[in-house]
A and B are shown apart, each in its own frame.
Chain A
Amino acid sequence: MKAAVVVFPGSNCDRDCAVAIERSTGAKVERVWHQESALPSGLDLIVLPGGFAYGDYLRCGAMASLSPVMRAVADAAERGVAVAGICNGFQVLCEAGMLPGALLRNAALKYVCTPIDLEVANGQTRFTAGYAGRREVTMTIGNGEGNFFADEETLDRLEGEGQVVFRYKANPNGSARAIAGIVSGRGNVLGMMPHPDRAFEEELGSTDGAILFQSVLASA
């Protein structure tokens, strides 16, 4: 099993993601600089990590979505490789048009870092199958622009097609329909604001993130 974590200038959870995947799955993880135009071969998972790529200037994820590596990421997604954008990575995926919607400023206009309970809205995806029917998981969030927005029609479609994967039990940032994470129509591209990469050991308060990485690699 093999995974890659993309590193943009300003990414700051790239190490966390690599460590979380290694510790929870034993997979080999390579870090790929954003200027690369090709990804390593034989990947089962590509992670776009959290952080503040390009300082989050202009719009979160906007400049990163134009990095050379993103073309290769989109191609891999086309081929069905699992792609997970976590926090800033979710923002990058939306900006790149690989996921619908956008992430706006939090309703309270403040950054918020807190442990949070999530409802597993779809336990059938390759990212959530490992929860084995569990409906509730816990992770932490840390974001200032995690307020998911899409027009009503898109939201209806996301819900109708089972593309909403995680929902906040208590909405921390004003996200439409309390959405915390979604997948693409084909189900292989995940975007989520909570951090599975900070929930992979008991000492960190939760191991629910480890299960997410385990299930995606089990599906590969």
Chain B
Amino acid sequence: MTVMEQRGGYRPTPPPAWQPRADPAPLLPDAEPYRVLGTEAAAQADPELLRRLYADLVRGRRYNTQATALTKQGRLAVYPSSTGQEACEVAAALVLEERDWLFPSYRDTLAVVARGVDPVEALTLLRGDWHTGYDPFEHRVAPLCTPLATQLPHAVGLAHAARLKGDDVVALAMVGDGGTSEGDFHEALNFAAVWRAPVVFLVQNNGFAISVPLAKQTAAPSLAHKAVGYGMPGRLVDGNDAVAVHEVLADAVRHARAGGGPTLVEAITYRVEAHTNADDATRYRGDDEVETWRRHDPIDLLEHALTERGLLDEEMKRAARDAAETMAADLRARMNQDAPLDPMDLFAHVYAEPTPQLREQRALLRAEIEAEQGGTQL
């Protein structure tokens, strides 16, 4: 029997008032990527910031070329270059306070270095060592992350924990355009929005996931449009405009710190080099496209703006270049030393205490190595 029949004068009611959980309008990104350089706003930008960004970008570019060179000398096992993406890398590091946390992917060693980590330590994993090199707690930088998008829930959990503890810490997590397709991206953004966790998600849309272009990765108007589906603001920014990226990220960090919750930022940029030194980019893209992007280079954009405003003279240029060269020379020199590697370390940190089984295996390896060194034969 239906309710209607049960109760005489019953008339069905309209649906219990439906309320959108949030107003979608302010969450949607602007129609065009936000830019400062090359627009009128460039005239207002803080000279100090411009100069700082410039020095860091020049150093960042040199870092990239040096690291790539180290792969050719066999001093790095692999290097995923961020050449052309330095504006994002540097801005991501600069917008954070000391107490904040950075969650980098494998491509983001430059951001790690820009945050203050010793480049040799930042490159430890890519050198082919078994550990992350730097102490994550020293500069509050999570270990480089290779399994795509898996670092994003970590950033959310850390930011959430900090908030629960009453610390006004923000986490900034970096991911690529390809990484946005992974389930972990979805789950992380959803948790962040539900928990209003102080996280900023920076997607560097560099056009490719290895060989796969964005058109095969998504049909969305933009990756920033994903934000509305989680109830967080999405921002779109010219990723080669260091000032614009810095501003958008700084806004998002401020918003997060003030308890406003997470933001998704999509920075439109381009991977100028191959995916890594092991990749052959000619198999999947033409030189024209690369050339177009080279002419929208983040350093050139900034240099041009500085020059136009008379904020950059030859001496400053030279100083930036010299600082970069010094860093590169030091990096080269130190990377040319073999990392000290003790095979016994393989067993030291699997658990707080090695299990009895690991102790046996360690003893076995020690005996083998001693036999080897003693020149003993089977």
Our verdict on whether A and B bind, yes or no, reads: no
Q: Which residues of A contact B (CB under 8 A)?
A: none
B interface list, Cβ under 8 A from A: none
